[in-house]
Amino acid sequence: MNLIKPVNWNQQTSEYANIFWDQNTKQFWLDTEIPISKDKKSWELLSETEKEVYMKVLSGLTLLDTEQGGVGMPSVLSYVDDLQEKAVLTFMAAMEQIHAKSYSTIFTTLATKVQIDSTFKWAENNKWLQKKTKIIEEHYKGIRDSFTFCKALIASVFLESCLFYSGFFYPFFLAGQGKLKNSGEIISLITRDESIHGVFVGLIFQKEREKFDANTKSQIDDFAKTLLDELYELEEKYSEEVYDDIGLSHEVKKFVRYNANKAMMNLGYEAYFKNEEINPIVLNGLNAGGTFDFFSQKGSAYVKAKVEPLREDDFEELNKRLEALK
Ligand code: FE2
Ligand code: FE2
């Protein structure tokens, strides 16, 4: 008879689980802790087109977080053997649902019911958004063995570390100019979470990939590049549809490529696209939120409002603990 095991945190079974459990629990937050109502004045100063773009990107992000919380993380964690890693992924799944809910908290504070209903309908019917989410979901639902598990992990890192960023662009672009700053803070908190999700799932992937022979490894590597090409093409279409009206799609695509490189590095690969300067306003917004960047070995996190501020050196500690494992 197969025995069901209780998770024993007194005995380390995963190199990473403890480190990521600590970091995830330390940066726990709730949408209700941020005073979004302070953004009302700033919201009213936006043009109708700007409001519409803002709502579209947030509803698109809602769809991705709903997918990651309800399908992505649960699928991945059900295939992971290590009970401590499973626990970390379960915590991450709950955070995805907090992310998904937080966009609604922003909507309900700033927009009317008619605007909210119409933006959700838009997300349900947007061809590019639906297509990219369905591609990711197919890999989540297609987990049958270690090979398909690797594919799902790649899809997951692409979602966490790249696909979100066409949406994050606009809140950062506005916050960088002092607009909708509190809502921008929520997006910063979400980005801070997504950045460690991408690193953690990337590490699980790298460990899984190591189990294969050279031939299978190269099949996996080819799959990653093909999937990135496919998703990037959809991101281009999506960015054009959402951002062309305000003349920003070119900048958004650059930002997506920048983050696609980060996703590849989380998976243990080289950067895929050439290095480009990204919009300084957006970069400001991104860095102000304290994004954890494992590769440049820096991170700064500071959150105002009622959320317990993370100290500047919090990510340093995570970095140090990960470095020690190398
Ligand atoms: Fe999320
Ligand atoms: Fe995530």
Instruction: Compute the average pLDDT of residues 256-276.
Output: 96
Give the model's pLDDT for residue 316: 72
CA–CA gap between residue 169 and residue 174 (Å, rounded): 9
C-alpha distances out from residue 250 to 40, 55, 244, 256, Å: 29, 20, 8, 10
Q: In which band, very low, low, confident or very high, does the pLDDT at 283 lie, cut at 50, 70 and 90? A: confident
**Closest-lying ligand to the alpha carbon of 162?**
2
- Closest ligand to 160 CA? 2
Distance 4 CA to ligand 1 centre (A): 30
Tell me how crowded residue 320 is: count the other CB atoms within 10 A of its CB.
Answer: 12
Q: Which residue has the higher pLDDT, 288 or 120?
A: 120
Q: Which residues contact 286 (CB under 8 A, 6 or more apart)?
A: 168, 172, 188, 191
pLDDT greater than 60 at residue 310: no
| Residue 261, CB-side half-sphere exposure with 13 Å CA sphere | 17
pLDDT in tens, 105-118: 999 999 999 999 99
Q: For the segment 246-265, what is each residue's pLDDT rounded down to a tens digit? A: 999 999 999 999 999 999 99
Distance from the alpha carbon of residue 235 to the mean position of ligand 1, in angstroms: 18
Which of the ligands is closest to the CA of residue 100? 1
Residues assigned a catalytic role:
103
282 with 250: CB under 8 angstroms? Answer: no
* CA dihedral of 316, 270, 224, 93, whole degrees rounded to 10: 10
Q: What is the pLDDT of residues 165-215, one digit of tens each?
A: 999 999 999 998 989 989 999 999 999 899 999 999 999 999 999 999 999
pLDDT band at 308 (very low <50, low <70, confident <90, very high): very low
The closest ligand to the CA of 201 turns out to be 2
Asked if residues 275 and 303 have their Cβ atoms less than 8 Å apart, the reply is no
Distance 178 CA to ligand 2 centre (A): 26
- What average pLDDT score do residues 308-325 get? 66
Does residue 19 carry a pLDDT above 50?
yes
Average pLDDT over residues 271-277: 94
Domain spans of the chain? 17-292
* Model confidence at 307: pLDDT above 60: no
Q: What is the pLDDT of residues 22-34, one digit of tens each?
A: 999 999 999 998 9
pLDDT tens string 128-177: 999 999 999 999 999 999 999 999 999 999 999 999 999 999 999 999 89
Distance 65 CA to ligand 1 centre (A): 5
**What was the pLDDT predicted at 305?**
31
Mean pLDDT over 207-236 rounds to 98
User: Cα separation of 154 and 223, whole Å?
Assistant: 9
| Per-residue confidence (pLDDT) for residue 304, from 0 to 100 | 31
How far, in Å, is the centroid of ligand 2 from the Cα of 314? 19
Name the band, by pLDDT with cuts 50, 70 and 90, for residue 298.
very low
Tell me, what's the pLDDT at 326?
A: 74
Residue 91 alpha carbon to ligand 1 centre in Å? 11
State pLDDT tens for residues 61-106. 999 999 999 999 999 999 999 999 999 999 999 999 999 999 999 9
The CATH code of domain 17-292 reads 1.10.620.20
The per-residue pLDDT for 288 is 58
Residue 68 CA to ligand 1 center (angstroms) comes to 7
CB 272 within 8 A of CB 224: no
